[in-house]
Chains A and B, each alone.
Chain A
Amino acid sequence: MSDSTTISRRMFLGMAGSAIGATAIAGNLPSMPPMDQPPTRNQPSIDADSFKEETVEADVLVIGSGIAGLFAAVKAHDAGAKVLMVSKGRLGSSGLTPFGKGVFCYDKQNASMTPDEFLAKVADSSIGTNNPVFTRQLLDHSADRVAELREWGFFDSALCFESFSKPMRERDIPIMERIMMTHLHKEQGRVVGASGFSLDHNTVFNFSAKTVILCTGSGGFKASGFPLCDLTHDGTIMAYNIGAKVTGKEWNDGHPAAAKNSGSCYDNWHGQIEERPSTTSTQINHHLGVDMNYTAYVSGGPVSMGPGPKSDTIEETTADVPAGPYVPEAFRQSGPPPQPPAESSGLRALFAKDKPHGPPGMGSESVGGSTAGMAIHKSEGLVPIDETGLSSIPGLWASGDALGSYMSGGIYTQIGSSMAGSAVQGALAGEAAAKASRSITPIPIPAEKLAQTKAEMLAPLKRESGYSPAWATQVLQSVMIPNFVLYIKKERMLQAALAYIEELKEHHGPMLMASDRHHLRLAHETMNMIHTAEMKLKASMMRTESRCSHYRLDYPDIDNENWQAWINIYKDEKGEMQLEKQHFNQWPKFA
C-alpha cells in the first residue's frame, strides 16, 4: 500500500468523523429498488442535509488518475507546482488505463519508418482527419515516457497501482480518491476550481486551483463487454457546461464483444487483463471503425473477425456484402491483423499464432456495441487551442482521451498509441499548467456559487419521486446502442433517436433520484451520458458525408469539398447547444 494512498485514506478518516458510523449503518440497508420490483418512493439512506463542505487548494488540480493523470501530476510537480490529484476511482485502476496492454514506443534509431513516412501514412489512413501536431508528439516523446514507465516498474506487473504509486510517493503528491466530480468553476473568464462529492462519506469537496487539467478519459453508454462503465465523459461535460468547446462526437469506436458471455470484459479481453503490458512498434492500421458493424447491419449476425479458430469464415461472411465504408487502398485486408513475433507478452501475444485469440471482442463470433458511446481514442473531448492541450477556457487543460487532439484522427491508426498518447499529452499539459500557474493569482469561488453547486449536486437525494438512474440509462442504451442509430447512420433514425434523448434531457433528467452516494454518482453519470448522446446525434446529423469511423447510409461518400473539417460543439449564451465546423487547415500554427 503506498504512502500516498495511506495519506488520502487518513485524510478521509479524519474528515469523515462521525459520518463513517452513518456509512456503516446505511450500507446494510436496501438501496434503490432493483429493476424487477415495482417502483417505490425514494427513501434515501443518507441525509442530504448532513453533507459537510471541505475546501482544498492547489496550484494545479489534476482530475483523473489514469496514465494521462499520472504524467500530468508528475510533470507539473517537477515543474515546481503544488499539485493535487483527485479521482473518481483509484490511482491506476480506473478508466481504460488498467486494460491498455500495448504502449507505442517510437525508437528514433531503429524505427522502420522515418517521422515523415509515419506522418504521411497516418494522414493516409485517417483520410486527413488527424492533427499532425499531436501525431508528431508521439514520435518525439513516446520513448521518453516509456523509459519512465519502465523505471517505475510498469512493464513488470499486470496491475499498475504500484508502478504508478512510485513516482507519486517519491514526490509526495497528494491523491484524493473516490470523489465524483460534478462541476468546474469559472470566474472572470478563467477556470478557478472544481467541486465533487465523496463516495465514502457525506462530504462535498470544493477545489480552488490556479489551473485544472482534465485527465478524465472519454466515456460510453455503460455498454457491456468493454471496461469503460466508469467512464461517462464527466470531464468533457463539466467543461462544456462552463463554455469549453468539445469535438469529435460523430466518430465511433466499433469494438464488438464476444457473443459468449458478452457482458464480461474479462472474457472479452481473453485473459489479457492478467498479462503484463509491453511496447509496440510502428504498425499503422485503419482499425476499430464500422466495418464489422456494417457487415452485421447488411447481412445480420453472426460476424467473426481476427485471428482465431473461425477466421477462415470471414470471406464467406463478407463475400456478398455490398461495398460499405471506404477503406484507403493501402489498408485493405480481409484477414486478421499482421502477426508480430510471439515471444513477448501483452498486445503482441494476442496475435501470436499459438493463441487462438484476438483483440478484445475478436477471434470468435461477436455481438456489436460493447463500446457504444465512445469515439476513436483521442478524437473526442475538449478542443485544444495549442499543442499542450490548453482548452478554449483559460487555465483549463485536457489530455489523453479527454482531449480532442485528433492524434489518430477519426480512425484508430497506430497500435498502442492510445496509452502512449495519453502519457505524452499528460506530461506536456502538466508542464504547461505548472508554468502558467506561476503568474496566476487565485480567484476565490463566490460563496453563492458554491451553495448553488452543492444544491445541484445533491438534488437527486432530495427527490421523493422521479426516475432511477438505472432506468434512464436503460432507456438511453435501448435508443442509442442499436446498430441503425450511431453505427450505420441515416437522418431519419438520428432524428428519431434525438427526440427520445431530448425528452430524457429536458423532462426525466431533472427528475433523477438517488437513495445513496452510489446512486447519486449514477444520477450524474446518467446526465453526462444524456448530454453526450445529444452531442453524438447532432454531430452525426451535421456531418453529411462518410469518413473513417463515421458512416452515413444516406451520404456514403467522402465529401472533400465540404468536409475537410472537424465539428466543434459548445454551449451558447442562452444555454443552447451549438455546432460549428473547424477546417483542418485552420488549426493554429505553432513554431
Chain B
Amino acid sequence: MPISEIAGCIGCKTCVQTCPTDVIQFDYDQQKAYIAYAEDCQICHLCRLYCPVDAITITPEKSIPVVVAWR
C-alpha cells in the first residue's frame, strides 16, 4: 500500500486539499478524511507533512504495478 492509514483525523481537510493526485476525500458525515483512491498515490508524502496532527501513515510500495523503462 502507498498511503495506508489516516488515524486520529481532526477533520481539517488539509490533506484533501494538499494531495496533488486527489487520493484523499472527505467524509462529511464522519467529519474525517479517508483514503479513496490509493492506486493513484504517488507516495510524495505531502499529505503527511502538511497534516497538523501526524495522522497519516504511508508505506513505500505502490498498490499497482510499476512500469519502468529498464531495470
A: which residues have CB within 8 A of B? 1, 5, 9, 20-21, 23-24, 27-28, 31, 34-35, 89-90, 93-95, 98-99, 158-159, 161, 177-178, 199, 223-225, 227, 229-230, 256-257, 259, 261-267, 273-274, 293, 296-297, 300-303, 367-370, 372, 470, 474, 477-478, 481-483, 487, 518, 521-522
Mark interface residues in B3-26 (1 if CB within 8 Å of A CB, else 0): 000000000111001111110011
B25 and A264 contacting across the interface, CB-CB below 8 Å? no
Q: Out of A159, A227, A265, A301, which one reaches B50, CB within 8 Å?
A: A159
B22 and A95 contacting across the interface, CB-CB below 8 Å? no
> Which residues in window 32-64 of B have CB below 8 A to A?
34, 36-37, 39-40, 42-46, 49-50, 58, 60-62, 64
- Complex-state Cα separation, A23 to B25, whole angstroms: 9
**Contacts between chains A and B (CB distance < 8 A), count:** 148
What bracket does the count of chain B residues touching chain A fall in?
A: 35 or more
A477 in contact with B67 given A161-B50, A227-B44, A230-B20 (CB within 8 Å): yes
- Complex-state Cα separation, A93 to B42, whole angstroms: 13
A296 in contact with B60 given A90-B18, A227-B44 (CB within 8 Å): no
Q: A303: which B residues are within 8 A, CB to CB? A: 70
Q: Out of B40, B46, B68, which one reaches A93, CB within 8 Å?
A: B46
- Complex-state Cα separation, A23 to B13, whole angstroms: 14
Nearest A residue to B18 via CB reads: A93
The 4 closest A-B CB pairs, nearest first, are A369-B69, A368-B69, A263-B62, A24-B28
Closest CB in chain B relative to A53 CB, distance in Å: 22
Closest CB in chain B relative to A71 CB, distance in Å: 20
B28 and A199 contacting across the interface, CB-CB below 8 Å? no
Majority secondary structure, B binding face: loop
A263 and B18 contacting across the interface, CB-CB below 8 Å? no
A93 and B34 contacting across the interface, CB-CB below 8 Å? no
Closest CB in chain A relative to B19 CB, distance in Å: 8
- Inter-chain pairs besides A229-B42, A263-B43, A293-B70, 19 sampled, C-beta below 8 Å: A5-B17, A24-B29, A27-B27, A28-B27, A93-B17, A94-B20, A95-B20, A159-B46, A224-B62, A227-B20, A230-B42, A261-B61, A274-B45, A301-B71, A302-B71, A367-B69, A470-B64, A477-B67, A482-B69
B67 and A224 contacting across the interface, CB-CB below 8 Å? yes
Q: A518: which B residues are within 8 A, CB to CB? A: 22, 25, 36-37, 40
Nearest B residue to A479 via CB reads: B67
A297 and B70 contacting across the interface, CB-CB below 8 Å? yes
Q: Out of A23, A27, A477, which one reaches B34, CB within 8 Å?
A: A27
A35 in contact with B60 given A90-B17, A99-B44, A300-B70 (CB within 8 Å): no
B28 and A264 contacting across the interface, CB-CB below 8 Å? no
Closest CB in chain B relative to A274 CB, distance in Å: 7
Q: Out of A27, A224, A368, which one reaches B70, CB within 8 Å?
A: A368
Q: B22: which A residues are within 8 A, CB to CB? A: 178, 199, 230, 518, 521
A229 in contact with B70 given A20-B28, A266-B43, A273-B49 (CB within 8 Å): no
- Complex-state Cα separation, A451 to B61, whole angstroms: 43
Nearest A residue to B17 via CB reads: A90
Q: Out of B2, B13, B21, B61, which one reaches A230, CB within 8 Å?
A: B21
Q: B14: which A residues are within 8 A, CB to CB? A: 1
B: which residues have CB within 8 A of A? 2, 12-14, 17-22, 25-29, 34, 36-37, 39-40, 42-46, 49-50, 58, 60-62, 64-71
Q: A474: which B residues are within 8 A, CB to CB? A: 65, 67
Q: Which of A31, A177, A265 has the most CB of B within 10 A?
A: A265
16 residue pairs bridging A and B, Cβ less than 8 Å apart: A24-B29, A27-B27, A93-B20, A98-B44, A224-B68, A229-B42, A230-B22, A263-B66, A265-B42, A369-B67, A474-B67, A477-B67, A478-B67, A483-B69, A521-B22, A522-B40
Q: B68: which A residues are within 8 A, CB to CB? A: 224, 257, 262, 367-370, 481
Nearest A residue to B14 via CB reads: A1
- Complex-state Cα separation, A95 to B42, whole angstroms: 12
Q: B29: which A residues are within 8 A, CB to CB? A: 24
Q: B12: which A residues are within 8 A, CB to CB? A: 1
Nearest A residue to B43 via CB reads: A264
- Complex-state Cα separation, A411 to B45, whole angstroms: 29
Q: Out of B19, B21, B49, B60, which one reaches A159, CB within 8 Å?
A: B49
Q: B26: which A residues are within 8 A, CB to CB? A: 27
- Complex-state Cα separation, A370 to B44, whole angstroms: 13
- Complex-state Cα separation, A23 to B58, whole angstroms: 25
- Complex-state Cα separation, A230 to B37, whole angstroms: 13
A31 and B49 contacting across the interface, CB-CB below 8 Å? no
Closest CB in chain A relative to B40 CB, distance in Å: 7
- Complex-state Cα separation, A24 to B34, whole angstroms: 11
Q: A372: which B residues are within 8 A, CB to CB? A: 69
- Complex-state Cα separation, A182 to B66, whole angstroms: 28
A266 in contact with B67 given A93-B20, A95-B20 (CB within 8 Å): no
Closest CB in chain B relative to A19 CB, distance in Å: 11
B44 and A293 contacting across the interface, CB-CB below 8 Å? no
B40 and A158 contacting across the interface, CB-CB below 8 Å? no
Q: Which of B43, B45, B67 has the most CB of A within 10 A?
A: B67
Nearest B residue to A262 via CB reads: B66
Q: A369: which B residues are within 8 A, CB to CB? A: 67-70
A21 and B28 contacting across the interface, CB-CB below 8 Å? yes
B49 and A296 contacting across the interface, CB-CB below 8 Å? no
- Complex-state Cα separation, A256 to B68, whole angstroms: 9
- Complex-state Cα separation, A160 to B62, whole angstroms: 26
- Complex-state Cα separation, A518 to B19, whole angstroms: 12
A98 and B46 contacting across the interface, CB-CB below 8 Å? yes
- Complex-state Cα separation, A293 to B24, whole angstroms: 34
Nearest B residue to A517 via CB reads: B22
